[in-house]
A and B are shown apart, each in its own frame.
Chain A
Amino acid sequence: MTQPASILELIANASPLVQAVMAILLLASLASWVLIFQRWFGLNRVQGEIDDFEEEFWSGIDLAELNGELAEREDDLTGIETVFAAGFGEYQRLSAAGTTDPDAVMQFVQRAMRVALTHEEERLGRHLPFLATVGSTSVYVGLFGTVWGIMNSFRSVATMTQATLAAVAPGISEALIATAMGLFAAIPAVIGYNRFAARVEVLMKRYEAFADELTSILHRTVVAG
């Protein structure tokens, strides 16, 4: 680099602490983008799965048959399928055991599905706390690096006899890179967190609606049966 103030040189000349801050922020930014992409694809896939399963569910297929289908590929169930499998499996077990009290049956079924729902919510919302942390703290980490860098550059100016702008400017410039990196990491993380938190909520609503519908269908069968 022949330029006197290339960004690479600025980073290389920064003090070790500022460099460490920059490294942390770079890692945070990388990790948050990895998670953003991962969540993006993951949530899209979950939404597709819900659409597919609901289509199959309302296609008039026999529920026992559907459950048997799912049982065949037990290791590879999608979110909504686990909810269905949990509720219907509990219902089948109870009817096989000869329990006839509708309220007791429904209570067990609901409880089983609630457990499955909780697991699903946990899976959907995975990594979101990390995004929230990056979004709220990386700005401060970057600011810390900047303040430290500026402190150092001013301290070195104090020992000079002639304090010119040219003596202070590179130090401040390199220190400000830390703030820029902090913002670069924080902004996508905050946007990603808000967006994904909202989507997780929407998906959970759909799960719960499906669980309620399954409950009412099973209730009808129990009362009728």
Chain B
Amino acid sequence: MSIVRDYAFPLALALLLHCGVFALLLQNWQPETDDLRLYEPRAIETTLIVMEKPAPPPVPKPEPTPAPQGAPPPEPKPQPTPTPAAPVEQPPKPDPEEARRAQEERERRDRLQELSEQSTQLALAEELADLRDLEADAETMSYAEGIQRAIIQAWSRPPSARLGMQARLRVDLVPSGDLLSVTLIESSGNPAFDRSAEQAVRRVERFDVPKESRLFEKKFRRFTLLFKPEDLLR
């Protein structure tokens, strides 16, 4: 009996105290969760559009960009020109006119054939190049995606970033993939945002670019990046 008398009252008090603390906790919990919910949807996901076409270089940087670009096409062209040039000088003035005419006729036919052959070869080469370009497109895409991912990872947006902002940067690389320069070509209007985009590119330092120099020269020597947050609330 004395045990009941000794402990019943303290037990009731202790229970009351715990219930009170728990009720207080439940009540004060709500506003905190409201706050938490406000911050919750901040998933870090950005979309970054890599411009495929290198901007036509209106401002020629010190880089020898246009030179290698133009290099492949002129290669086959000079071939046809010298061929006609040579035969033109060939007819001197042989005495037997018939023989000369026959010879001329033959030569002309030969030349025609040669020319047509060359032209088919040229067409074939062009077609092959197209085919390779198509293949390269897929390759380009995968490299572009890799670069995009690397930059997204390095990009930490300032708190002032808002939906609808966009900054365009021109990036110049050397064939190893190392960064040569970054230039802001279209500001978002928010200097902090522009700086963050530039920082992101600089932070990557070394980009994964195709080993094949033709593809590199064509697509990755110089490209434009569009920074544009798409997941922000406001």
Residues of chain B whose beta carbon lies under 8 Å from any beta carbon of chain A: 6-7, 9-11, 13-15, 17-18, 21, 25-26, 29-30, 33-34, 36-37, 40, 43-44
- Say yes or no: A42 contacts B14, CB within 8 Å: no
- Say yes or no: B18 contacts A30, CB within 8 Å: yes
Beyond A3-B33, A4-B33, A6-B29, whether A41 also contacts B10 by CB under 8 A is yes
- Say yes or no: B10 contacts A35, CB within 8 Å: yes
Partner of A34, one of B10, B25, B37, B43: B10
Tell me whether chain A's interface is mostly helix, strand or loop, or mixed.
Answer: helix
For the complex, what is the distance from the CA of A30 to the CA of B21, rounded to whole Å?
A: 12
Residues of chain A whose beta carbon lies under 8 Å from any beta carbon of chain B: 3-8, 26, 29-30, 33-38, 41-42, 164, 166, 184
Q: List 12 A-B contacts (CB under 8 A).
A: A3-B34, A3-B37, A4-B40, A5-B33, A7-B25, A8-B26, A26-B18, A33-B17, A36-B10, A41-B9, A42-B6, A184-B21
Give A7 Cβ to nearest chain B Cβ, in Å: 5
- Say yes or no: A38 contacts B7, CB within 8 Å: yes
Contacts of B7 in A (CB 8 A): 34, 38
Give A55 Cβ to nearest chain B Cβ, in Å: 25
Contacts of A37 in B (CB 8 A): 9-10, 13-14
Chain B, residue nearest A30 (CB):
B14
- Say yes or no: A38 contacts B10, CB within 8 Å: yes
- Say yes or no: A33 contacts B18, CB within 8 Å: yes
Give A111 Cβ to nearest chain B Cβ, in Å: 28
For the complex, what is the distance from the CA of A211 to the CA of B191, rounded to whole Å?
A: 86
Contacts of B26 in A (CB 8 A): 6-8
8 new A-B contacts, CB < 8 A, other than A3-B37, A5-B36, A41-B10, are A4-B33, A4-B36, A34-B10, A34-B14, A36-B14, A37-B10, A38-B6, A164-B43
Beyond A35-B10, A37-B10, whether A7 also contacts B29 by CB under 8 A is yes
For the complex, what is the distance from the CA of A19 to the CA of B51, rounded to whole Å?
A: 54
For the complex, what is the distance from the CA of A27 to the CA of B26, rounded to whole Å?
A: 19
Give A21 Cβ to nearest chain B Cβ, in Å: 17
Partner of B11, one of A34, A41, A42: A34
Chain A, residue nearest B26 (CB):
A7
Chain B, residue nearest A3 (CB):
B33
Contacts of B14 in A (CB 8 A): 30, 33-34, 36-37
Contacts of B13 in A (CB 8 A): 33-34, 37
Give B11 Cβ to nearest chain A Cβ, in Å: 5
Give B60 Cβ to nearest chain A Cβ, in Å: 43
Chain B, residue nearest A173 (CB):
B36
Give B22 Cβ to nearest chain A Cβ, in Å: 9
Contacts of B30 in A (CB 8 A): 3
Contacts of B15 in A (CB 8 A): 30
Give B230 Cβ to nearest chain A Cβ, in Å: 18
4 smallest CB-CB distances across A and B, nearest first, come from A37-B10, A33-B14, A38-B10, A34-B14
Give A31 Cβ to nearest chain B Cβ, in Å: 8
Give A10 Cβ to nearest chain B Cβ, in Å: 9
- Say yes or no: B33 contacts A6, CB within 8 Å: yes
Contacts of A164 in B (CB 8 A): 43-44
- Say yes or no: A4 contacts B37, CB within 8 Å: yes
Contacts of A33 in B (CB 8 A): 10, 13-14, 17-18
Give B94 Cβ to nearest chain A Cβ, in Å: 83
For the complex, what is the distance from the CA of A35 to the CA of B13, rounded to whole Å?
A: 11
For the complex, what is the distance from the CA of A41 to the CA of B9, rounded to whole Å?
A: 10
Chain B CB count within 10 A is highest, among A6, A34, A164, for A34
For the complex, what is the distance from the CA of A65 to the CA of B171, rounded to whole Å?
A: 109
For the complex, what is the distance from the CA of A36 to the CA of B14, rounded to whole Å?
A: 9
